[in-house]
Chain A
Amino acid sequence: MSEGDVARSSSLAMSGGRNRRMRRLHRIEPAAVIGVVSRDATVFTRNWKTTTFSSIVEPTIYLLAFGFGFGALISSIGGISYKQYVATGIVATAVLFSSAFPGMYGTFLKYRFQRTYDAFLAAPVDVDEIVSAEILWIALRAGVYGNVPLLVAIAFGLDPLPTALLVPFVCFITGAGFVAFGVTLAATAQSIDNFSYVTSGILTPMFLTAGTFFPISNFPPVMRAIAEINPLHHCVALVRDLVVIGIHPAADLLHLAVLLVFALGLWRVAIWRMRKRLID
C-alpha cells in the first residue's frame, strides 16, 4: 500500500466516532489536577498504613513526652496550661512532617526514579497541573493528620473552643506551603542525600523556633525576628488561638495572611523549578 493509499484509508478511519473533537484545553485544568490526585489517592489506598503511621506517630510521641513530661514541671505559659500549649503547638509539627517530607522525598522519587511525571506529561497534563495536584493531595492529607495531636490531647482532657473546627483548614494551608517547599527542593536537589542538609539546616530549626515547646518572646531580638517570619510559628499561633485562647482578629488575620502568602508564593516557585527540571 502506498503512503497515499494509506493516507486515504486513514482519513476515512479518522472520520469515525473515535476522533472526538476536544474542547480547548487550558493551562490549569481541574480535570487534569483531579486526574493526578486520583492517581495519588489510588496509590494511597495501597500504602495508607505506612504513610499514616509515619505522619502521626512522631508528633504524638512529642506530644506525650513534652506535654506529660515537661507538663508535670511547668504549670502554664501565657495563661494556658503547658499541656494545652504543647498540644496546640504540636499540630504544626504534624503538618510539617506530613507535608514537607512527602513533598521532598515523594516528588524526587516520582520524577527521578519512577518517572511518573514523564508518563503524565505524555498525556494532556502540564507541569503546573502536576505540581498543583501534588500540593493539593498532600496538603489534604496534612489537613487531616495535623489534627491527630489535638484528638490525642482531647482524649487526655483538652477541652477545645468551637473555633477548633477551623484547624483542619489552617493545617491545609500550612501543609500546602510546606509541600510546595518540598517540591521546590526536590526539583532543585541533585541527589536525595541533599535533603539531609535541608532537614538539619532548615526544617529542624523551623520546628524548634515555631513556639511549639516554648515562647519565642524569650528569644534574643535577631532570633525572634527570624522566628517571626517562620510560617510554622504563624500556624502554631493561629491554632493556639483557635483551640484554647480565642480569636484575636487582627493578629490571626496576619497569621493567616502569612500562611497564604507562603503557600501561594511557593506554589509558583515549585512550578517554576519543576518545569525547569522536567522540560528540556
Chain B
Amino acid sequence: MGVSAQPGGASGAQAGAGAARPAISLRGVVKRFGAITAVAGLDLEVPPGICLGLLGPNGAGKSTTMRMLTAQSIADEGTIEVLGYTLPGESKQARAEMGVVPQLDNLDVELTCRQILTVFARLYRVPPDERAAAVQRALQIANLTERAETRVDLLSGGMRRRLLIARGLVHRPRLVLLDEPTVGLDPQVRQELWSLIDALRAEGTTVLMSTHYIEEAERLADTVAVMASGAIVARGKPADLVREHAGEQTHEVYGPPARLEELRAQGERAGWAMRRSGPALAILRAERHDGTLPEGVRRAATLEDAFVALTGEEIE
C-alpha cells in the first residue's frame, strides 16, 4: 500500500503535520432521530495527545457522538473534523488513522485472535510485509500472545474486551475512540483494562473515551467533559471540575428517609447544594457551612458530586 501523494484534502494535509490542530473538533453539532434530539449543539475540541473522558449518564448522547466521529451517524447540523479531516466527506481517511473500540462486542466468534487481527491489519492497510509484526505487537499490548490461536468464543469476557482494544490498535492509530470500554466487566478486568488504556495515553496517543463510570473518568482522563442532554455542560481537569462545581468538602448525613426529607427542606431554605447519595443526604461545599450542619460524615468532594451538581442526575 502506497503512503505518499496527497491526503484527503487541504485540511488533511495540515493534519499530517500534527501540530497544534485539535485531534477532534465538533462545532454546533446536532443529531436528531425523528422527534428526539440525541445531540443538541455539541461543541467539543480534543487536543492531540490527551485522554478526554466524555462522562454522562445513559442517553446523554455519548454513543451517538462516537458514531458521528466514524461517520456511522451523520450530523444534521454543525461541522466535525477528525485528525484534520472534515466529516463525513473525508471520514474514510480519518478512520484509517484512528482506532475504534466499540461498546458492544462485534468480534467474529469463529475466528482466532490472530485471524481477527490479521483481517483488520489488512483493512487498516498495514503493508503486507508489516502485517505479522503489527498483529504480534497488538497481541502483546493486549496481553493475548498466549491466546493468539484461541477462538474468540473460547475467550473470557475480559479477554474479548482486550482483543477489541488490540483490534483498534493494530495499525498504531494516532487517535483511539473508546466507547464505554469497561461496561459490564468485573472490577478485576476493569483494572486490567485501565492499565492498558493508561499505557496508551502515556505513549502519546490521543484518546477519547466515553464512559458513565465516574471512577474511570477520574483515573484515566486528563480532561473530563460532562455531557448531558446532548451537550457539554462542563469541561476541565477532574480536580478542577470538582473544586468548581462541588467545592472542597462534602458532608454526608445519614438517617431515616423522613429525617433526610426534613433536612432537605431545611437545606433548601438555607441555600445548601444537596443531593441524595444512597442512604445519605450529601451537602456539597460543606466548608462554607461549618458550624451550621447537623452531625454527619465529612469527606473530600468527588467528581460524582460535581457531576450530580452539574446534571442533576445520579451516575455509577
Chain A residues within CB distance 8 Å of chain B: 1, 3-4, 6-15, 18-25, 31-32, 34-36, 38-39, 42-43, 46-47, 114-116, 118-126, 278-280
Ordered by A's residue number, 30 sampled pairs between the chains whose C-beta atoms are within 8 Å are: A3-B47, A3-B50, A3-B223, A6-B222, A7-B49, A8-B49, A9-B204, A10-B18, A10-B204, A12-B204, A14-B174, A18-B174, A21-B7, A23-B7, A24-B6, A25-B96, A35-B119, A38-B122, A43-B108, A43-B110, A43-B111, A46-B111, A47-B110, A114-B109, A118-B102, A118-B106, A121-B70, A123-B96, A124-B93, A279-B74
Task: Name the A residues within 8 Å of B115 (CB-CB).
Answer: 42
Residues 114-143 of B, flagged 1 when their CB comes within 8 A of A and 0 if not, give 010011101111000000000000000000
Would you call the interface of chain A mostly helix, strand, loop, or mixed? helix
* Contact size range, B: 35 or more
Q: Are A9 and B49 in contact (CB under 8 A)?
A: yes
Are B48 and A14 touching (Cβ within 8 A)?
yes
| Chain A residue at minimum C-beta to C-beta distance from B6 | A24
| Partner pick for A23 among B4, B72, B102, B223, CB 8 A cutoff | B4
Seen from chain B, the residues whose Cβ lies within 8 Å of a Cβ on chain A are 1-8, 16, 18-20, 33, 47-50, 67, 70-74, 92-93, 95-97, 100, 102, 104, 106-111, 115, 118-120, 122-125, 167-168, 172, 174, 203-206, 222-223
CB < 8 Å A-B pair total: 152
* Most-contacted residue by chain A among B4, B106, B172 (CB, 10 A): B106
- On whether the beta carbons of B18 and A14 are closer than 8 Å, the reply is yes
| Contacts beyond the supplied A14-B18, A21-B3: 5 A-B pairs with Cβ under 8 Å | A114-B108, A122-B102, A124-B123, A124-B125, A125-B92
Task: Report A-chain residues with C-beta under 8 Å of the C-beta of B95.
Answer: 122-125
Q: Which residues of chain B are near A25, meaning CB under 8 Å?
A: 8, 92-93, 96
**Residues of A close to B67: CB separation below 8 A:** 280
A279 touches B72 (CB 8 A): yes
Q: Which of B7, B109, B119 has its CB near the most chain A CB atoms (within 10 A)?
A: B119
Q: Kindly list chain B residues whose C-beta atoms are within 8 Å of the C-beta of A21.
A: 3-4, 7, 16
Chain A residues, Cβ within 8 Å of B206? 10
Please give, as numbers and ranges, the residues of chain B lying within 8 Å of A3 by CB-CB distance.
47, 50, 222-223
On chain B, the residues within 8 Å of A122 by CB distance are 70, 72, 95, 100, 102, 168
The 8 closest A-B pairs by CB, nearest first: A10-B49, A13-B204, A122-B100, A115-B106, A124-B96, A14-B18, A35-B123, A18-B172
Which of A8, A34, A47 is packed against the most chain B CB atoms within 10 Å?
Answer: A8
Say yes or no: B124 contacts A124, CB within 8 Å.
yes
Complex contacts, A9 vs chain B, CB 8 Å? 49, 204
